[in-house]
Amino acid sequence: MKQPPSVDCACQVLSSREILPGVFSVHLQLPPGSPAPHPGQFVQVEPSRGVFPVTRRPFTVNSFRSGVLEIVFDVVGRGTALMASIEAGFEMRILGPLGKGWDMSGDGPWILIGGGLGAAGFQFLLDTVECSGVVLGARSASRLVPLKTRCPVITATEDGSSGTRGLITSILGEDVLEGAGHIALCGPLAMMDAVWKALPPELRSIVQVSTESRMGCGWGVCEGCSIPVHPGGYMKCCTDGPVFRGEVIDWDRWKEAGV
Amino acid sequence: MSFPPSVKRNMWGMEFPSPLMLASGTAGFGRELLNLGCLEGVGAVVSKAVTLKPREGNPPPRVQETAYGLLNSIGLANPGVEAVLDQLLPQVSDLPCPLLINVAGETADEYPAVVELLDSSSVPMGYEINVSCPNVASGGRAFGVEPSVVETVSSMVARVTEKPFTVKLTPNGGDMVEAALAAESGGASAVTVCNTFLGMHIDWRTGKTVIKRKVAGYTSPALLPLVVASVWKVASEVSIPVISSGGVSSGEDVLELLAAGAEMVQVGTRLMRRPWAAGELMAEIEDLLTT
């Protein structure tokens, strides 16, 4: 039988760790010669070898170094519960890298604005680009993803367990955003919508947004993962994104639809 | 029929490379799968639904996985027949297998109108007429639940094309055998049995559904016995070929559907997880038939 396409592979699980309550970090060894992902791209994970679940689960590439790919996920349902039960030494099948990642064109340092676990994927970006600041928000310290970076990180938590007590928008002062050449935004929809609306309008053209959506295929055919865009209609999270220019997204329609 | 069934399939006077078809909505127009190198074992690709005018589709979320299957509410999102002719079909003229175009409409007239326009292209080898969509003239009841409407639509399509077409019936209301007989007498070259089953998932904590339209199309490997029964009933009554659609997740499932009387077997949701499912199923079938 012909081998599955090169973008699909069985990866050895090098480690699986619970980094926050209910949040897992899995390091996967890609087979030699596998295509290297670009920051912001994602992989489709097969949570089990059985018939169910019938779809894969999409995850941003959290970090990537010398053939080792990391994903971070929250156990929210059956698929992720199955994934959390896969231990080091076993295999996890992934299809990827998929989608369009962060657009690196243009000058100036990056400022990363992340909400909760949405900030996990920033590690790969931090390892790749010049960054001048990271702004993180979460419900509490137990939902703040640890990031390895030398650039300044400021945080806000709703319960005050880390950094400023309050919403992320309360720490998005002009001093924080000064000099940004790129702004990367990732997190829950309500948080991203609030940040988008709080940003000075003149900065909107440099904002890129890493979106998420319930997905069927992940490779562009099923039209399941639609994101509302201007001037109307939808684009596909999986192949047109998952990273979009903030100005492309129709935030009001997206917020109304939910994810 | 002899058992176990042969995978050599002859339909509409031609030999298909395999009995497997990729079901509408799960393979685009074939381009993405060709790029992924996943068309091995595919007998034919059925395109996503094409309508007369562009349709942006339903608001998201459009898909939701349940414990044992997938709900979808895509809303026939497609760029409309003109854009399909100008932009999409030229991209798939090099498909290594035949392409059937799935056609949907809001009124009976739209089916022959779309088919007539598509007929100007040599790319499609035939059509699949989706009569599961709501018929505006019938207050939104699906075309497929009324045999007289199925016959009318089939004969309208038969008048505008020389190419073969299959009528994709709905399992949601109406008698599928009556509908299949109506399609046959209207001139259909085959019937596809069946489409997605109406399903719904409610969060009991909130009373809400994830999918905005609440009720959606349900697909699942667990539906196999329902599809086998429908295929068997319809194949016993009509003399045109029956193409099964639904429930396939293994080579055994494919052979069972052929044994039930299916001439060709569509694979759909399985592709979501394994885009190369057709090649995998054919290899499995070869093993099953030689050991």
Of A145-149, B2-6, B161-165, the range with the lowest mean pLDDT is: B2-6
pLDDT in tens, B181-194: 999 999 999 999 99
Task: Please judge whether A220 and B275 are an interchain contact, meaning their C-beta atoms are less than 8 angstroms apart.
Answer: no
Of B56, B249, B275, the CB nearest to A219: B275
**Whether the predicted pLDDT of B240 surpasses 60:** yes
Torsion region of B206: left, alpha or beta (phi above 0 gives left; psi -120 to 50 gives alpha): alpha
pLDDT at B178: 98
Mutate to test the interface with B, among A45, A215, A226 (most CBs of B within 10 A): A226
Active-site choice (B38, B97, B133, B194): B133
ipTM for this prediction: 0.93
Interchain proximity A221–B273, CB inside 8 Å? no
Q: Are the C-beta atoms of A240 and A100 separated by less than 8 Å?
A: yes
Q: Is B231 exposed, middle or buried (0-12, 13-18, 19+ CB in 10 A)?
A: buried
- Amino acid making up residue B64: Q
Q: Enumerate the residues of chain A whose CB falls inside 8 A of the CB of residue B280.
A: 1
Residue A5's pLDDT is 43
Q: What is the mean pLDDT of residues B235-239?
A: 98
- Are the beta carbons of A214 and B62 separated by less than 8 Å? yes
pLDDT for res A3: 36
**Closest residue, chain A, to B23 (C-alpha):** A222
Closest alpha carbon to A131 in A157, A158, A102, A156? A102
Q: How far is CA B183 from the centre of its chain?
A: 15
pLDDT of B28-52, one tens digit each? 999 999 998 899 999 999 999 999 9
Cβ of A226 within 8 Å of Cβ of B60? The answer is yes
Please list the pLDDT of chain A residue by residue as tens digits (259 residues).
333 344 789 999 999 999 999 999 999 999 998 999 999 999 999 999 899 999 999 999 999 999 999 999 999 999 999 999 999 999 999 999 999 999 999 999 999 999 999 999 999 999 999 999 999 999 999 999 999 999 999 999 999 999 999 999 999 988 899 999 999 999 999 999 999 999 999 999 999 999 999 999 999 999 999 999 999 999 999 999 999 999 999 999 999 998 8
B133 included as an active-site residue: yes
Q: Which of B125, B100, B70 is nearest to B243 (CA)?
A: B100
Residues of chain B with Cβ-Cβ distance to A233 below 8 Å are: 56
How much of chain B, in percent, has pLDDT values that exceed 70? 100
Average pLDDT of the segment spanning B17-23: 95
Q: What is the pLDDT of residue A7?
A: 78
- Tokens at B232, concatenated: 């068997």
What DSSP assignment string belongs to A85-104?
TPPTTSEEEEEEEESB----
Query: With bands split at pLDDT 50, 70 and 90, how would you rate the model's confidence at B64?
Result: very high
What mean pLDDT is predicted for residues B82-94? 97
Distance separating alpha carbons of residues B74 and B59, to the nearest angstrom: 8
pLDDT at position A1, please? 34
Phi first, then psi: what are they for A18, rounded to 5°?
Answer: -85, 100
For residue A5, the chain B residues in CB contact (below 8 A) are 36-38, 275-276
CA angle A60, A69, A93 (to 5 degrees): 80
Residues of A in contact with B60 (CB under 8 A): 213-214, 225-228, 234, 257-259
Output the pTM of the full model: 0.95
What's the rounded Cα separation, in Å, for the pair B7 and B133?
32
Q: Which residue of A has its CA nearest to B282?
A: A1
